[in-house]
Amino acid sequence: MNASRATPASTLVGRIVVGVVILALWELCSGRLFSDFWISRPSAIAHSLAQMATSGDLWWNLSATLQETLSGLAIGMVVGTLLGIVLAWSGRFSDWLYPYVMALYSLPKVALAPLFVVWFGIGIWSKILMVTSFVVFVAFYNVYEGVRGIDRDLLDMMKTYKASRMQVLTWVVFPAIAAWILTSLRLGIGLALIGSVIAELVGANRGMGYAITKAGNTLDTPGIFAGLFVIMVVAVVLEAAVVQIERRVLRYR
């Protein structure tokens, strides 16, 4: 079969079939091949999810995680993008600063969590900062490379038309790095979720990471899987949203 001949509808049907088969196998194996204490079972997970949703726990925890993830993502993207543009444009100054930025980048962010808790307590700000620390470097690195890769001819062309710095930014630099910003946004979504959940594992009284820890402490396997499932859905939805934005912004390709 040639992949290019597949229609979107048949692709969708195929995906649904794979999903159903996996869930059915899981349900069948559970309690027969493996104890359902270890791997739970889809029906139990669905039950646990329904319970979380009706009791209000789901929204209580999910809203906290979403707020941390999206705020941290936004702050990290903006700061990283600005830093990338400024450093890529500043010539010598960037040569001085670059190794330090990369040294910070190489730190395992998880190890920063205790520091953020010391600074901001276990409230929302320590989580947002954690997410930001994950996202900011990806945004910085992509934008930095993007600005450096801008076609020299385009900048020369703008110069011959006596464009101001601001005009060069809006006509050339931002559109040229749009693809890079969107790439870092896509990578950033996954990292932002990691950041917020890890921060919640370290110390929190609310959030999906907290919900999973709590379920783990009471050996509630279906509860753990339900939490993981919710996080997965959030990642898929956010990623799909970025793909839609990409289609619009990168129409010229």
Q: Report in angstroms how near the CB of residue 93 gets to other proteins at its nearest.
A: 21
- Determine, following the binding rule CB under 8 A, whether residue 167 of this chain makes contact with other proteins: yes
Single out the residue of 162, 165, 247, 248 in contact with other proteins (rule: CB under 8 A): 162
Mind giving me the DSSP string for 166-230?
HHHIIIIIHHHHHHHHHHHHHHHHHHHHHHHHHHHHHS-SSSHHHHHHHHHHTT-HHHHHHHHHH
- Amino acid of residue 72: G
- Please state, in angstroms and rounded to a whole number, the distance separating the CA atoms of residues 18 and 20: 6
> Which span (56-64, 133-141, 156-164, 192-200) binds other proteins, by CB under 8 A?
156-164
Single out the residue of 172, 189, 191, 215 in contact with other proteins (rule: CB under 8 A): 172
- The site string for other proteins over 174-193 (x = CB under 8 A, - otherwise) reads -xx-x---------------
- Determine, following the binding rule CB under 8 A, whether residue 171 of this chain makes contact with other proteins: yes
The alpha carbon of residue 104 and the mean position of all alpha carbons in its chain are separated, in whole angstroms, by 20
- Amino acid of residue 24: A
Name residue 34's beta-bridge partners.
30
- Determine, following the binding rule CB under 8 A, whether residue 208 of this chain makes contact with other proteins: no
Single out the residue of 106, 153, 218, 248 in contact with other proteins (rule: CB under 8 A): 153
Q: Report in angstroms how near the CB of residue 165 gets to other proteins at its nearest.
A: 12
- Determine, following the binding rule CB under 8 A, whether residue 91 of this chain makes contact with other proteins: no
> Which span (115-123, 125-133, 150-158, 216-224) binds other proteins, by CB under 8 A?
150-158
- Please state, in angstroms and rounded to a whole number, the distance separating the CA atoms of residues 197 and 171: 39
Q: Report in angstroms how near the CB of residue 158 gets to other proteins at its nearest.
A: 8
- Determine, following the binding rule CB under 8 A, whether residue 169 of this chain makes contact with other proteins: no
Single out the residue of 50, 96, 159, 241 in contact with other proteins (rule: CB under 8 A): 159
- Choice between 47 and 159, CB closer to other proteins: 159
- Enter the tokens of residue 190: 């996954």
Closest listed residue to residue 234, CA positions, set 180, 184, 192: 192
- Determine, following the binding rule CB under 8 A, whether residue 173 of this chain makes contact with other proteins: no
Q: Across the chain, which distance is largest between two alpha carbons, in Å?
A: 75
Three-state SS for 67? helix
Q: Report in angstroms how near the CB of residue 168 gets to other proteins at its nearest.
A: 10
Question: Is residue 72 a contact partner of residue 193, using CB atoms and an 8 Å limit?
Answer: no
Name residue 30's beta-bridge partners.
34
- Choice between 110 and 163, CB closer to other proteins: 163
The owner of tokens 């710095």 is 165
Residues engaged in binding other proteins (CB under 8 A): 151, 153-154, 156-157, 159-164, 167, 171-172, 175-176, 178, 251-253
